[in-house]
Structure 1
Amino acid sequence: MKFLDVIGFKVKILSHSDFNLIGISGEIVYETQKFLIIKKDNGKEIMVYKPNGVFLLSSQGKSYIIRGDKLLGKPWKRSKKIR
């Protein structure tokens, strides 16, 4: 699957260089080229640096584990990175 737009996906941080982020879950509400903005289950929004993490993304009953470096860049340009 090509992840052109991950906004609205449920997300759980499986691994990250910032150990405080591991295990956090919520919904992706916005993204920049290098960051995901995640609305946590408690309603608080956090900014997570993509390249340093491994994420479990869920949408429409399917789940995917993806390295953050595969999510770098603009959504319409990263389709070539994910195969």
Structure 2
Amino acid sequence: MKFLDLIGANIKVLSYTDKSIQGITGKVIYETQKFLVIKKENGREIMVYKPNGVFLLSLQGKSYNIPGDKLLGKPWKRSKKIR
């Protein structure tokens, strides 16, 4: 399993330190080394700090439950953390 590019993946925030973000669903439209930008179903965009959450990512017909700290870093380096 390799997550080289999360852009376009469907995402659900399963748990998060800020309970108001927990449960949000949408699509990843951009990412940095430490943040995901999620476009929610209502069209609003939010920036989420990766290490503070656990995410359910759906990509290429499969779903993955991933702790945010495993998503830190540059995408091409991140694949080594997730194996």
Partner-residue secondary structure (3-state), 1:77: helix
- TM-score, normalised relative to structure 1: 0.97
Tell me, yes or no, if structure 1 residue 7 matches structure 2 residue 7.
yes
1:54-73 matches, cutoff 5 A:
54-73=54-73
Tell me, yes or no, if structure 1 residue 16 matches structure 2 residue 16.
yes
Letter in 1 for 2:13: I
Q: 1:16-66: per-residue Cα shift (whole Å, max 9, x none)? A: 001110100000000000000000000000000000100000022211100
**Which whole-Å CA distance do the structure 2 matches of 1:43 and 1:81 have between them?**
31
Letter in 2 for 1:17: T
Tell me, yes or no, if structure 1 residue 80 matches structure 2 residue 80.
yes
**Which whole-Å CA distance do the structure 2 matches of 1:59 and 1:36 have between them?**
15
- TM-score, normalised relative to structure 2: 0.97
| Between 22-31 and 57-66, the greater mean CA deviation after superposition | 57-66
**Which whole-Å CA distance do the structure 1 matches of 2:43 and 2:57 have between them?**
18
Task: Report sequence identity in percent.
Answer: 75
Gaps (5+ residues) in structure 2?
none
- Equivalent residue number for residue 50 of structure 1: 50
Partner-residue secondary structure (3-state), 1:55: strand
Letter in 2 for 1:22: Q
Aligned-residue RMSD, C-alpha: 0.6
